[in-house]
Amino acid sequence: MLAYVFWHIPASSAQRDEYERLLIGFHETLAAHAPQGFRRSFVNRVEKAPWIGAGAAAYEDWYIVENSAALDGLNDAAVSGPRKAPHDLVASFAASGAAGLYRLKSGSLDEMKFACHAWWFSKPAGSYDAFFQQLRPLTERPQTNLWMRQMVLSAGPEFCLRSTAELKVAPNPGAIHCPVQVIHPA
């Protein structure tokens, strides 16, 4: 399972409530007219993500797809058919954006709709096997999932650990904690 993650910041002239309403409208239209391979989407308001807007409040859209083949369909469908007008409307209020591709490494999608904490980090020197073993006490917690960047297609760090609870121990010393507020689905 893959997630196309799109971070964006509304233009300074955009009103937050209106931007969120338009954003949710687009996601609802996408769900109602889903392209092949699209599973669901999530929208979060995030803080402290330095790779977008120098850490200013931003939005984070997670588009969950079955596999990489579904990305072409999602890319084309987002800006065509019944999704075109809602997409273009909310996009007209956006100031900037960045994106990445992540694969679910542990946990399930059920945690996504309740996660209010995200830790973004990179793997320290050493093997991936040893690193995943080191992360196991965190990744085996209930209501926690781990995502790994694919093909270095992102400005964001290599890993994202999402959880409903704030962790007492960071995944690694350089981890960036980004508070998350779920916007959609409500």
Q: Convert the pLDDT of each residue in 4-35 to its tens digit.
A: 999 999 999 999 999 999 999 999 999 999 99
Can you give the pLDDT at residue 93? 94
Can you give the pLDDT at residue 44? 95
Can you give the pLDDT at residue 186? 74
Q: Convert the pLDDT of each residue in 129-180 to its tens digit.
A: 999 999 999 999 889 999 999 988 777 899 999 999 888 877 888 899 999 9
173 three-state secondary structure:
coil
- Between residues 170 and 128, which one has the greater pLDDT? 128
Residue 168's identity, in one-letter code, is K
Can you give the pLDDT at residue 172? 84
Q: Which residues fall within 8 angstroms of residue 129, CB to CB, at 6 or more apart?
A: none
Give the domain CATH number at 162.
Answer: 3.30.70.100
- Domain of residue 92 covers 2-184
Residue 106 pLDDT > 80: yes
pTM of the model as a whole: 0.94
Q: Phi and psi dihedrals of 105, rounded to 5?
A: -100, -35
Rounded CA separation 3/103 (Å): 6
- The pLDDT mean for the chain works out to 92
DSSP assignment of 68-124 equals THHHHHHHHHTTSGGGHHHHHHHHTTEEEEEEEEEEEEES-GGGTTT--EEEEE-PP
Can you give the pLDDT at residue 171? 82
59 three-state secondary structure:
strand
Local confidence band at 110 (pLDDT 50, 70, 90 cut-offs): confident
**Total number of domains constituting the chain:** 1
